[in-house]
């Protein structure tokens, strides 16, 4: 199951010293995270894709990827569910492709490397900062004069990944269309794992939403 939502908050700047340290001086960020990277790393494709993150759910399921957002390994994805814990790991949702629509312009957040070698879109170029809050990865994207953050974590003991988007700063309204890329077909999952173990949710209806594994189709 995937749970995306968008928040907006009033941001006020405070002159406070950071309570943590970055990995080295060149990547120093103003945050309380012990691990953080700025544009020097996030805006460099090879550097960003060589650094990875991982969150788990205690069942054998996990979400993982790269700092730059591109998927470089077979086990990268937003929801790798353990359908028969701790076994039966199945990639259900590889990623979200998001586009911030702001001030009449689109700002893609995603980064995709195609078989031809072309990188499109190039959302990594908009990453202002990557950091860990606890064990959760957080990205901050600069879209014009707006800042949008994205946080990923998993619910302990459930095959559920949460993706939170927060509007940190903006001078006008923002739209955020999200395309979820789904890897498995509902009927195939039902055949392989039993209909009682698989659920599906769309914007209009739901099927067995409390199943151990569920995926959603939404935009």
Other CB atoms closer than 10 Å to residue 8's CB: what's the count?
A: 14
Which string of b and e fits 152-162 if b means at least 16 CB within 10 Å?
bbbeeebbbbb
Instruction: Please state, in angstroms and rounded to a whole number, the distance separating the CA atoms of residues 200 and 118.
Output: 33
Other CB atoms closer than 10 Å to residue 174's CB: what's the count?
A: 18
Encode pLDDT of 49-92 as tens digits. 999 999 999 999 999 999 999 999 988 999 999 988 988 898 88
Encode pLDDT of 27-43 as tens digits. 333 455 678 999 999 99
Cβ distance 43 to 128 under 8 Å?
no
Q: How confident is the model at residue 97 (pLDDT cuts 50, 70, 90)?
A: very high
Instruction: Please state, in angstroms and rounded to a whole number, the distance separating the CA atoms of residues 158 and 58.
Output: 8
Q: Dump the DSSP string for the chain.
A: -EEEEEEE----------SS--SSGGG--SSS-SSEE-HHHHTSHHHHHT-EEEEE-SSS-EEEEETTS---STT-EEEEEEEETTEEEEEEE-EEEEEEEETTEEEE--EEE-TTS-EEEEGGGGEEEEEEETTEEEEEEEETTEEEEEEEEE-TTSS-EEEEEEEEE-SS-EE--EEEE--S-HHHHHHHH-GGGEEEEESS-EESTTSSEEEEE--
Instruction: Please state, in angstroms and rounded to a whole number, the distance separating the CA atoms of residues 95 and 77.
Output: 6
Encode pLDDT of 175-198 as tens digits. 999 998 876 666 667 777 888 888
pTM: 0.73
How much is the mean pLDDT over the chain? 82
Instruction: Please state, in angstroms and rounded to a whole number, the distance separating the CA atoms of residues 45 and 18.
Output: 27
Which pLDDT score, from 0 to 100, does residue 95 have? Answer: 93
Q: Dump the DSSP string for 101-160.
A: EETTEEEE--EEE-TTS-EEEEGGGGEEEEEEETTEEEEEEEETTEEEEEEEEE-TTSS-
């Amino acid at each position: 199951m995937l749970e995306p939502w968008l928040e907006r908050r009033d941001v006020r700047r405070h002159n406070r010293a950071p309570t943590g340290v970055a990995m080295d001086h060149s990547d120093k960020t103003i945050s309380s995270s012990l691990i953080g990277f700025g544009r020097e790393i996030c805006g460099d494709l090879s550097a960003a894709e060589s650094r990875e993150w991982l969150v788990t759910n205690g069942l054998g399921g996990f979400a993982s990827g790269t700092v730059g957002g591109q998927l470089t390994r077979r086990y990268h994805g937003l929801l790798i569910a353990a359908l028969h814990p701790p076994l039966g790991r199945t990639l259900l949702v590889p990623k979200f492709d998001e586009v911030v629509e702001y001030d009449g312009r689109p700002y893609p957040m995603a980064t995709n490397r195609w078989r031809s070698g072309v990188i499109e879109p190039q959302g990594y170029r908009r990453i202002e900062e990557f950091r860990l809050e606890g064990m959760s990865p957080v990205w901050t994207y600069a879209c014009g004069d707006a800042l949008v953050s994205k946080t990923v974590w998993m619910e302990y003991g459930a095959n559920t990944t949460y993706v939170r988007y927060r509007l940190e700063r903006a001078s006008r309204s923002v739209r955020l269309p999200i395309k979820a890329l789904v890897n498995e077909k509902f009927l195939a999952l039902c055949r392989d794992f039993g209909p009682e173990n698989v659920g599906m949710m769309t914007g209009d209806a739901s099927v067995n939403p409390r199943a151990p594994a569920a995926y959603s189709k939404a935009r």
